[in-house]
Structure 1
Amino acid sequence: MKCISWNVNGLRAVVKKGFLDVFHELDADFFCLQETKLQAGQIELDLPDTYYQYWNYAERKGYAGTAIFTKREPLSVRYGIGSAEHDLEGRVITLEYPDFFFITCYTPNSGEGLKRLAYRMAWEDDFLHYLNQLDSQKPLILCGDLNVAHQNIDLKNWKTNRKNAGFTDEEREKFSALLDSGYLDTFRYFYPDLTGAYSWWSYRFNARKNNAGWRIDYFITSKRLQPQLNDAKIHSHIMGSDHCPVELDISL
């Protein structure tokens, strides 16, 4: 089973840059998007009839938003995490299947000057509680832009970013707490020491050309799915967004 996650940073813009070509080329069982930045009815995608489409839109126009396109019809679909505080920005979709949950997430950014860090910390606690509730029922696959580079090797210039959004001690500690709760960072499971593997690059300073990036897009699974993991990939050659797609191959 091939799973793809891609923060498109505005789906309408990426469609003009060859999104459908990428979609068909990757031919995934699950194709997840974050930061779609649109409302219902603002786009029509010519996807094959074999895909079921699920969208979660932010109340604020042109902001956040997630989507899942899947060949597998779920038993049920949930939008958000059941919290009025967190569910206005279209950040989470959960699909339930007989043997697992599949979740895509666009984690809130702590913002310039860390003005949203306190909210981010509350989100982290509530989202982990949500995941643990699901995991107590059946194993899960979580993907998305989780807006944190966990280890020093997950970004190029870690020394100068210690207090910047996405690499604060607080955010990294929350990610460690997630993994310690019974989950795997699948890319690091396969490639624990690989450097230079990034999924996001700033549009400034020729960052992508120089591969001065961050790995902030993930596939996380329940640890008990480890025997079924086959591979994890970062498609850094695919353009169109400031992020690139990431992939998980799993036998389910």
Structure 2
Amino acid sequence: MNLVSWNVNGLRSCVNKGFHEYFNHIGADIFCLQETKLQEGQISLELGEEYRQYWNYALKKGYSGTAVFTKIQPLSVRYGLEEETEPEGRIITLEFDSFYLVNVYTPNAKRDLSRLAYRLEWEDRFRNFLLQLDDRKPVIICGDLNVAHQEIDLKNAKGNRGNSGFTEEEREKMSLLLDSGFTDSFRYLYPERTDAYSWWSNMPKVRERNVGWRIDYFLVSTRLRPFIVDARIDSNVLGSDHCPVVLELANFNESLFLPRDTIG
């Protein structure tokens, strides 16, 4: 199974910068978007009859938003955390026979960290939500998590220490999530790889020099580790200040339904 996640930073703009070419080339079973920045009716994507489309729009125009396009029929689709709505359109959860998929666009703490307290509280609610899902079935989480977890996840760790996306508090929340029974698929396969980034600022020549951050992830329930075939970053794909990240999984089987602490 082939899954893709991409923060498109405005889907209407990305469509004019090669979105369809990449989408058709990759042929993902499940394709997730963050930061679509549009409202219902503002775009009509022709993706083929095999894809079902699910959208979560932010109430604020031109802001946030997520979407999932899937060839696999979900059993159910949920917007927000449990029964509460998310006015910023940040979460879509699809339930399938063998797993849950959670597509998420994590709130940014803002440059002046004015939203850090909200971000940390949101992280706790999100982790609890994931653990509830994981008690039932394995979970695949993808999206822009707005944090560089380790120093090797950004080019200039020393210069960015304490900045939004690399505060100790945000990094600790990521560690806590992983310690709760989830695995960063890319780091699982490439524990020491550097210069692997998924986001670059819009400053001149930054992307050309690969001065970036890895803030886009595929996390999986730890018992899914044996099924990971590959996790990669398609850094050559343009169209956004983020690039797509990809997860390939082998066929699932009955071992997925073992208790959470069985494999790890």
* Normalised TM-score (structure 2): 0.94
**Cα distance in 1 for residues equivalent to 2:136 and 2:206:** 42
Q: Deviation at 1:25? A: 0.6
How far apart are the structure 2 equivalents of 1:179 and 1:75? Answer: 27
- State the Cα RMSD in Å: 0.9
Unmatched runs of 5 consecutive residues or more in structure 2: 253-264
> 1:64-103 CA distances to partner (integer Å, 9 max, x unpaired)?
000000000100000011365x711000000001111011
Cα distance between partner residues in 2 of 1:112 and 1:140: 31
SS in 2 for 1:81: coil
| TM-score relative to the length of structure 1 | 0.98
Counterpart for residue 49 of structure 2: 49
The equivalences for 1:1-252 within 5 A come to: 1-82=1-82, 84=84, 87-251=86-250, 252=252
User: How many residue pairs align between the two structures?
Assistant: 251
Residues 81-133 of structure 1: CA distance to partner in whole angstroms, max 9, x if unpaired?
1365x711000000001111011000000002101000000000000000000
Distance in 2 between residues matched to 1:129 and 1:62, nearest whole Å: 29
Secondary structure (helix, strand or coil) at the match of 2:112 reads: helix
Shift of 1:205: 3.4
Counterpart-to-counterpart distance in 2, 1:165 and 1:250: 32
Give runs of ≥4 in structure 1 deviating > 6 Å.
Answer: none
**Paired residue type of 2:246:** E
**Separation (CA, whole Å) in 2 of partners of 1:114 and 1:133:** 29
- 1-structure distance, mates of 2:17, 2:81: 32
Identity of counterpart residues, as a percentage? 61
User: Whole-Å Cα distance in 2 between the matches of residues 18 and 226 of structure 1?
Assistant: 32
Instruction: Give me the whole-angstrom Cα distance separating, in 2, the residues matched to 1:245 and 1:98.
Output: 26
Once residues 116 and 204 of structure 2 are traced to their aligned partners in structure 1, the CA distance between those partners, rounded to angstroms, is: 26
| Amino acid in the other structure paired with 2:244 | P
The aligned amino acid for 1:249 is E
